[in-house]
């Protein structure tokens, strides 16, 4: 029987803890400063992440530093469009015209084409959304 490997998941970074660690790294009083390595051990995040955020913290562009993740980079539909699509699928399911999983994916592809959305080229080959990566 083949093994199935489940990947390791990292905990989400707490923005308040991160900001506190960055403030202690760049504290005005030299006796209260700690190193980047010590701060990464205290709040349990990788040193690379802390160093990257420290560079951003030192030179905030246009205001105060704010940590945020950017999961929406490759998002095809906006939240409103996605909600409309979900509501439509629920509506047709109530009218006894339920779609299979593949049918829902084809509907999402047609909706993206109709709205002139930017999506991966792999969607064009199969005429439905496919997982990339």
Q: Do residues 17 and 67 make contact, with C-beta atoms less than 8 angstroms apart?
A: no
Per residue in 9-43, pLDDT (tens digit) is: 778 888 899 988 998 998 888 888 999 999 999 88
131 has pLDDT over 80: no
So what's the pLDDT on residue 60? 66
More confident residue, 108 or 65: 108
CA-based angle 17:21:23, to the nearest 5? 115
Q: What is the DSSP letter of 23?
A: H
Place of tokens 């709205």: 115
When pLDDT is cut at 50, 70 and 90, the band that residue 1 belongs to is low
The pLDDT > 90 percentage for the chain reads: 31
So what's the pLDDT on residue 133? 55
Mean pLDDT of 45-52: 90
């Amino acid at each position: 029987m083949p093994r199935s490997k489940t990947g390791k998941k990292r905990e989400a970074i707490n923005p308040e803890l991160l900001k506190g660690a960055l403030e202690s790294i760049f504290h005005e009083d030299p006796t209260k400063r700690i190193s980047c390595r010590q701060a990464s051990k205290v709040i349990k995040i990788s040193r690379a992440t802390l160093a990257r955020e420290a560079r951003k913290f030192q030179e905030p562009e246009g205001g105060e530093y704010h940590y945020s993740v950017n999961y929406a980079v490759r998002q095809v539909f906006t939240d409103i469009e996605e909600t409309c699509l979900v509501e439509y699928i629920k509506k047709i399911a109530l009218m006894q015209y339920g779609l299979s999983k593949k049918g829902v994916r084809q509907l999402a592809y047609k909706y993206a084409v109709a709205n002139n959305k930017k999506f991966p080229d792999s969607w064009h080959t199969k005429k439905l959304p496919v997982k990339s990566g």
